[in-house]
Amino acid sequence: MTATAFDHDPVMCDEIVAAFANVPAGVIVDATLGGGGHSEALLQSRPDVDVIGLDRDPAAINAASQRLAPFGDRFGCDRVSFDLLGDVLDRRGISTVSAVLFDLGVSSHQLDTAARGFSYRAAGPIDMRMDPDSTRSAADLIDHAAVDELAAILRRNADERFARRIAQAIVAARPIADTAELASIIAAAIPAPARRTGGHPATRTFQALRIEVNRELEQLPVALDAAITRLAPSGRLAVLSYHSGEDRIVASVMRDGTDPCTCPTGYPCVCGATPTLARVRDVPKRPGAAECHTNPRASSARLRVVERTAATNGQMDEGVSDGTCPA
C-alpha cells in the first residue's frame, strides 16, 4: 500500500477539544502535528487561541501547513524534535502557553507509506526514521547490532517474549533486503503456537526498532518536562500514548507534578513540596467502541490530562489547587 494524500484520523479528537475547552486564551502547542487534524479541530473550537505545531517529519509539516493555511497567522509550525519545545517558544518570544498536546508514535501516513519502512505489511527499505535527515536508520541498527544489544532493544521497547530468538535470527540472516524479508524472519523465529495468537508476529519487533531509531523514550520525558514548565496557571497538558512504555513515562512525569511529596506514607508532610499539577481524571481515558471500530489504530490509545496549578517549583502561591479539578 502506498499512501499519497496525508491520511490520518486524529484519535480521540472530541476528547482533546473538550479537555482544552476552558484553558486560558493564548497559544496551544501541538507537539506532534502530523497531518494537523487535532490542530484544525482546536483552531475551529477556540477562536481565541493560536496553535504552534511541531513535527520532525517534513511530510507532516508540509501536509499540515497546507491544511491549516486558511487559519492564516493563527497557525505556525516548526520542523523540530519535540524535546526542543522550550527553544522553539524562546525563539518565538513566548513565555507561557495555554495547553500542550502530545499524540505520540507514528501517523497512519508514515505507517502506510512503504518507502518510509515503518510497516511489516509492505516491502520497503528498512528505514523507520521520522526525520529522514537523522543519521541512523533501522537498517543501520540491525546490520551492526550484536545479538545481546538487539535482544535488549526488543525487551526494553516492546516487552518481546522471544527477544533473544528473534535477535539471533536477524543476525544470522544479515544482510536483510527489505521490511517484508525482515517481517518473515521475525515470524519464523517465533514458536508456531505463539505466532497464531495476537496480531502480526512482527508487530512488537517493528515497534521496538522504530522506538530505538527515533529515540522516542529518551526524548519523551525531556519534552514533557519542558511542556509542564511552560504551562500558564490553569493551562493543560494532554498526552495520547499507544503502548505501555510510553504510558509509564507519561504517568511518572505527571505524578512528579501531582504528588511531589517525598515524605514516608502515613507521616505528616515535612518536605513542603507543593503540587504544580492537578489530575483531571484519576485513570486514563480510552477511546469509545465506535471510534475503535472506524479507526482500529485508536484502540490502544490512552489519554492522560493534567492541569497546571498556580504553584511554581515548590513555592506556595495563593489559590493553589488541592490536586483535583473538574474533567
Ligand X SMILES: C[S@@+](CC[C@H](N)C(=O)[O-])C[C@H]1O[C@@H](n2cnc3c(N)ncnc32)[C@H](O)[C@@H]1O
Residues engaged in binding ligand X (CB under 6 A)? 8, 10, 32, 34-38, 54-57, 60, 81-82, 103, 105-107, 130, 219
Shortest Å distance, C-beta 105 to ligand X: 5
Indicate the residue among 78 and 307 with the shorter CB distance to ligand X. 78
Give the nearer residue to ligand X in terms of CB position, either 5 or 192.
5
Nearer to ligand X, 103 or 212 (CB): 103
Residue 257 makes CB contacts below 8 A (sequence gap 6+) with 228, 275, 276, 277, 306
Query: Cβ 293 to ligand X, closest distance in Å?
Result: 19
Q: How far is the CB of 169 from ligand X (least distance, A)?
A: 29
Name residues whose C-beta falls within 8 Å of residue 189's C-beta, 6 or more positions apart in sequence.
162, 165, 166, 168, 169, 170
Shortest distance, CB of residue 180 to ligand X, whole angstroms?
A: 23
| DSSP codes, 188-228 | HHS-HHHHTSSS-TTHHHHHHHHHHHTTHHHHHHHHHHHHH
Residue of 28, 8, 21, 181 whose CA lies nearest to 98: 28
Task: Report which residue's Cβ sits closest to ligand X.
Answer: 34
Q: How far is the CB of 213 from ligand X (least distance, A)?
A: 11
The closest alpha carbon to 279, from 253, 297, 300, belongs to: 253
> Looking at beta carbons only, is 106 or 122 nearer to ligand X?
106
Q: Which is nearer to ligand X, 55 or 247 (CB)?
A: 55
Residue 206: which of 140, 300, 127 has the closest Cα? 127
Distance between CA 98 and CA 27 in Å, rounded? Answer: 5
d(CA 276, CA 125) in angstroms, rounded, equals 45
State which residue, 36 or 287, has the beta carbon closest to ligand X: 36
| DSSP type of residue 60 | H
> In angstroms, what is the minimal distance from the CB of 320 to ligand X?
32
